[in-house]
Copies of this chain bind each other. A is one copy, B any other.
Amino acid sequence: MPLTLTPLPNIPLIQPGDDLARMILRALDTSGLQLETGDILVLTQKIVSKAEGRLVHLPTISPSPAALELAEKSGKDPRLAELILRESNAILRTRPGSVIVEHRLGFVCANAGIDQSNVAENGATCSEWVLLLPENPDKSAAQIRARLEAATPWQGQAGKRIGVMIIDSHGRAWRIGTVGMVIGLSGLPGIVDLRGTTDLSGYTLQITIVGAADELAAAASLVIGQAAEGTPVVHVRGFPYPLREGSLKELLRPKDQDMFR
């Protein structure tokens, strides 16, 4: 079965308080797509954060001494440095222009995932606003999923069983270029454990745990692109693994098993 990723058209610019599930249902309708069991919807972090009101106006932030020090070392705005510290469990590396942290959600990323681009309210361009990641992306995904599934019993049919993921673009160790990665999910596996399965020759597989949700995040990110707040939701059909309950936590390598902190 082919894997098909379709960007949904006509998602408007998101304002705090917007009902994303309703907008997605409308966009699916416009696209002539009906949700089927096994489908997955992938949303960018940015629209979820905006809908949840995670915008912060920098002039409201007073940098602590630690933030002033981080700003000095990184060249970041001290108020942004303050937010990076508040949003992080630990600072892993600091260089001019670059702060790599363990986010409070547990993953490693730059600048605590705080977005300075395209976060203006009401269409105004203003770099004094920044956007934090959603408070609890697994929960955000679950809420959107519940709304979408509740809307799917059409014409007497049973409701559909779908998955929802929230993704962001992350830099990586060793390789150039950002790729889409999951920051929250509901209703699909984060990882798929193939231990015990054998390949066509009957030899037990060496590679045993696949980062399936991250692979899908990368695929969706390709479709969304970077400049396209116009297509911040992707409909996926043909995900090859069985759906189940899942969590971001599956994808987080415990510190004591991580050789590259």
Task: List residues of chain A with CB under 8 Å of any chain B CB.
Answer: 2-7, 13, 93, 95, 98, 100, 107-108, 115-120, 123-125, 127, 169, 172-181, 190-192, 194, 197-207, 209-212, 214-219, 221-223, 225-230, 238-240, 250-253, 258-261
Asked whether A259 and B219 contact (CB < 8 A) given A173-B173, A203-B117, A250-B176, the answer is no
A218 contact from B95, B206, B214, B261, Cβ within 8 A: B214
Asked whether A6 and B13 contact (CB < 8 A) given A209-B178, A253-B176, the answer is no
Q: What residues of B have a CB within 8 angstroms of the CB of A119 in the complex? A: 201, 203
A210 contact from B7, B125, B177, Cβ within 8 A: B177
Asked whether A176 and B100 contact (CB < 8 A) given A120-B201, A125-B202, A240-B223, the answer is no
User: Shortest CB–CB separation between residue A108 and chain B, in angstroms?
Assistant: 4
Q: Are A227 and B200 in contact (CB under 8 A)?
A: yes
A169 contact from B95, B207, B253, Cβ within 8 A: B207
Task: Tell me the bound Cα distance from A179 to B211 in angstroms.
Answer: 6
Q: Are B178 and A207 in contact (CB under 8 A)?
A: yes
Q: Are B4 and A215 in contact (CB under 8 A)?
A: no
